[in-house]
Structure 1
Amino acid sequence: MGFLWTIAELLVALVFIIASFLLTAVVSEAYRRRHNNTHVDASAFFEDPNSLKQVPCPHIHDPAEKYISLVIPAFNEEHRLPGALDETINYLQERAAKDKSFTYEVVIVDDGSADATKRVAFDFVKKYTVDNGMLHSRGELLLMLDADGATKVTDLEKLENQIHAVARKEFRLGESTSSDSSFRISDIPLAAFGSRAHLEEKALATRKWYRNFLMKGFHLVVLLTAGSGIRDTQMVLRC
């Protein structure tokens, strides 16, 4: 019996030693990564699609030079980005042709793609995040789009209508905000978000049961933390 207790004690000691070794290795590796990595602040730039030269990025606090900036995050989107850009640019050109005051820019934010995203987009900022794309945009309105074309750029006007409606209410203006030359949309902190909540019933009928269970659980967490006003947290279309 004493021999068995000795074996058990040795096994417990061995497990404790192995666990201590693994914990030490994990902590040491985390410390090494934290202190050995050097943060380098790269200059903010973008490639001008006309001259192909690198020019300094503007900042969101600079005066707006465009009516709207469309920011498209793209990571290894060589194959899907062209279709999304074609649809987007065609829409913007058609709208600009009808309204000379409608000016725009498209900012492609590339987070270090390994494929030919740069060649396809012609204009991207390497290793920059979505926030930097927004911060360096010049539009009075900023629109976020998916690089895979999952959202329709033509829905932009729905978001615009909501923004202008809230702006008119805040400033107590009439139907036309153009009558007040001092009024600027960017003077009011507003955001409009698209939603696909109306498609939920169709999605429930086509998804696996466990995906529906996970989705409902996630919706419950959102409800408890953010309230009932947020119905679609994954929708990228936002202005």
Structure 2
Amino acid sequence: MELLWEMAQLLVSLALILVSLLACVVIFAVDARKHNNAHVDASVIFEDPNSLKQVPCPHVHDSADKYISLIIPAFNEEHRLPGALDEALSYLQRRAAKDKSFTYEVIIIDDGSSDGTKKVAFGYVKKYTVDIVRVILLGRNHGKGEAIRKVSLVQTFCSFSFFMFSDIEVGYFVFCALQQFIEAFHLCESIVKQGILHSRGEILLMLDADGATKVNDLEKLENQIHAVSKEVYVGDSTASNSGFSISDIAVAAFGSRAHLEEKALATRKWYRNFLMKGFHLVVLLAAGPGIRDTQCGFKMFTRAAARKLFTNIRLKRWCFDVELVFLCKWFAIPMMEISVNWSEIPGSKVNLLSIPNMLWELLLMSVGYRTGIWKIYN
């Protein structure tokens, strides 16, 4: 009997240790991204390949001087990027020919591709000029701001280690181990964010480089954004009489493939359906109801909405879409979910190995915002 009691005590102790370690990992990771909205980013460069001059980068807080900006993130997309750019630019040129007030830009963000993506992108800049097509080159080095952030984290965690481990050296050892563990999940900062922050449009459209969604579907989102913006403007008793500007009204439109779900359920493997349903449940718990398809890469924002959302965004790659929904609700930004045409593109499916990272980021978001560690700035 005593042996069973001792084993039970041992199991309880082990469970408490594991829970404590998990809590440490979560707290450390949440704190690591506390200032992700404000830390110094890697240098953003607009380069004109024709004149070999660097073009000053605008910022989303500046006034708009284009009607629409298309933001296309690209990582090793040398083969699929040309098709997406040809379709987009052809569509934009047709609209501009019919309406002289329709001005546009296409921003390609290359996040350190190892193939010919950069060469392909600059080929389009040479063809269409840097005023129409711009390329942002991002490196992996986050510079001084990242270094300062890591020093701060060491101090924070080592202080916490007195309580958890009663030994600063042990605490620092665990800090290093946790840092390596977290960095295994720590994907590059959403490159879409950099395109949004350095765009010039009154309305901003993010879309994937794989061409899964047709560019002309942007009109569906655009029409809804205009309609809702006018409703908000008319209903705003503080609105000035100087005139309506869509860039000043915060509205978001999310492209959706939810209408295709029934057909997809019939053709997709059972385990993918199971994982999809599980992910939707976790998203519902983390961000609440409202948007059924958070992961569609076809989204549109007014400039005012982008200023609030993308200067606060902290999550990485897959789940930053969920954070956008959460932030829209926080700021009471009207958001609509609009069905778009979508095609399955080979190589575009979510890798099952990325699911742990997605769940990890949703956990960080829930803890970060609900504990107040992640501040939201207006």
Matching residue of 1:21: none
Q: Deviations over 1:124-144 (max 9, x none)?
A: 222262211101000000100
Written as runs of structure 1 = structure 2, the 5 A alignment for 1:25-174 is 42-48=42-48, 51-122=51-122, 123-127=134-138, 129-172=191-234
Matching residue of 1:220: 281
Deviating beyond 4 angstroms after TM superposition, the runs of 4 or more aligned structure 1 residues are 39-42
Secondary structure of 1:201 counterpart: helix
Amino acid corresponding to residue 271 of structure 2 in structure 1: Y
The CA distance in 2 between the partners of 1:41 and 1:235, in whole Å, is: 26
Query: 2:216 aligned with 1:205, yes or no?
Result: no
Alpha-carbon deviation of 1:52?
A: 4.6
Alpha-carbon deviation of 1:50?
A: 5.1
Q: Is the 8 A contact 1:83 1:149 kept in 2?
A: yes
Q: Is the 8 A contact 1:44 1:56 kept in 2?
A: no
Q: Is the 8 A contact 2:44 2:137 kept in 1?
A: no
Which residue of 280, 283, 297 corresponds with 1:236? 297
The CA distance in 2 between the partners of 1:94 and 1:104, in whole Å, is: 12
Bigger Rg over Cα: 1
CA distance 1:156–1:131, shift in 2 (3 Å): same
Number of residue pairs matched?
198
Secondary structure of 1:63 counterpart: coil
Amino acid corresponding to residue 81 of structure 1 in structure 2: L
Alpha-carbon deviation of 1:172?
A: 1.9
CA distance 1:125–1:195, shift in 2 (3 Å): same
Secondary structure of 1:113 counterpart: coil
Unmatched 5+ stretches in structure 1: 1-33, 174-179
Q: Deviations over 1:93-129 (max 9, x none)?
A: 0010010100000000010001111111114222262
Secondary structure of 2:225 counterpart: helix
The CA distance in 1 between the partners of 2:119 and 2:242, in whole Å, is: 41
The CA distance in 2 between the partners of 1:211 and 1:98, in whole Å, is: 44
The CA distance in 1 between the partners of 2:220 and 2:40, in whole Å, is: 41
Alpha-carbon deviation of 1:40?
A: 7.8
CA RMSD of aligned residues (A): 2.3
Unmatched 5+ stretches in structure 2: 1-31, 33-38, 123-133, 140-190, 236-240, 301-378
The CA distance in 2 between the partners of 1:49 and 1:236, in whole Å, is: 29
Amino acid corresponding to residue 63 of structure 1 in structure 2: S
Amino acid corresponding to residue 220 of structure 1 in structure 2: L
Amino acid corresponding to residue 137 of structure 2 in structure 1: K
Q: Which moved more, 1:185-194 or 1:96-105?
A: 185-194
Q: Deviations over 1:181-235 (max 9, x none)?
A: 6211111111111000000011111111111111111111122232231111110
The CA distance in 2 between the partners of 1:121 and 1:41, in whole Å, is: 22
Secondary structure of 1:71 counterpart: strand
Q: Is the 8 A contact 2:73 2:192 kept in 1?
A: yes
Q: Which has more helix, going by share of residues?
A: 2
The CA distance in 1 between the partners of 2:67 and 2:90, in whole Å, is: 17
CA distance 1:94–1:49, shift in 2 (3 Å): farther
Amino acid corresponding to residue 208 of structure 2 in structure 1: D
Alpha-carbon deviation of 1:53?
A: 2.8
TM-score, length-scaled by structure 2: 0.49
The CA distance in 1 between the partners of 2:199 and 2:40, in whole Å, is: 22
Secondary structure of 1:125 counterpart: strand
Instruction: Calculate percent identity across the aligned residue pairs.
Output: 76
Amino acid corresponding to residue 125 of structure 1 in structure 2: I
Q: Is the 8 A contact 2:68 2:205 kept in 1?
A: yes
TM-score, length-scaled by structure 1: 0.77
